[in-house]
Amino acid sequence: MRYSHQREIIREIVFSTNSHPTADWIYGEIKKSLPNVSLGTVYRNLKQLADEGIIRNIQDGPVARYDWNIEPHDHLKCNVCGEMIDIQVPNEIIKDTVMEKYDFEVSDVEITLVGKCNKHT
């Protein structure tokens, strides 16, 4: 992956916030310094950065968000303001524990384990 100015700025933007930004938000930010960037460039570079393991892709319902924190961690998603809060889920996922520890009224826990099923050796 050779150097590109656009990608470098995109990386810096992702690293500058804890807000788990979307491609669209990042597009708005980068246009402040590079008004001619294309939204496609933002998407392409976010994908490349995620593929390289430099940033992390997190799926928030139907939209993709990005996170500079590539350590394994989970999220609380507020269904009022939409904010995503980083958490470390302990060995026991206990709704009640999360509720008091993070002062968060859990209404739904979504757990998806992604990998390869036994049909593929």
Partner DNA sequence: ATAGTAATAATAATCATTACTAATTAAAAA
Partner DNA sequence: TTTTTAATTAGTAATGATTATTATTACTAT
Residue 111 binds which one of DNA, a second copy, none, with CB within 5 to 8 A depending on kind? a second copy
Residue 36 binds which one of DNA, a second copy, none, with CB within 5 to 8 A depending on kind? DNA
Name the residues that contact a second copy, by CB under 8 A: 58-64, 72, 74-81, 83, 85, 87, 89, 91-95, 98, 103-120
Residue 3 or 113 with smaller CB distance to a second copy: 113
Q: Is 60 helix (H, G, I), strand (E, B) or coil?
A: strand
Integer angstrom CA distances of residue 61 from 31, 44, 72, 92, 120: 26, 20, 19, 24, 28
Place of tokens 């992390």: 56
Tokens representing 93 are 């996922």
Please report whether residue 75 would count as binding DNA according to CB under 7 A: no
Nearest to 49 by CA among 80, 13, 18: 13
Residue 36 or 91 with smaller CB distance to a second copy: 91
Please state, in angstroms and rounded to a whole number, the distance separating the CA atoms of residues 64 and 39: 14
Place of tokens 């050779």: 2
Q: Which of 23, 49, 58, 98 binds DNA (CB under 7 A)?
A: 23
Contact set with DNA (CB under 7 A): 1-7, 22-24, 34, 36-41, 43-45, 47-48, 62-64
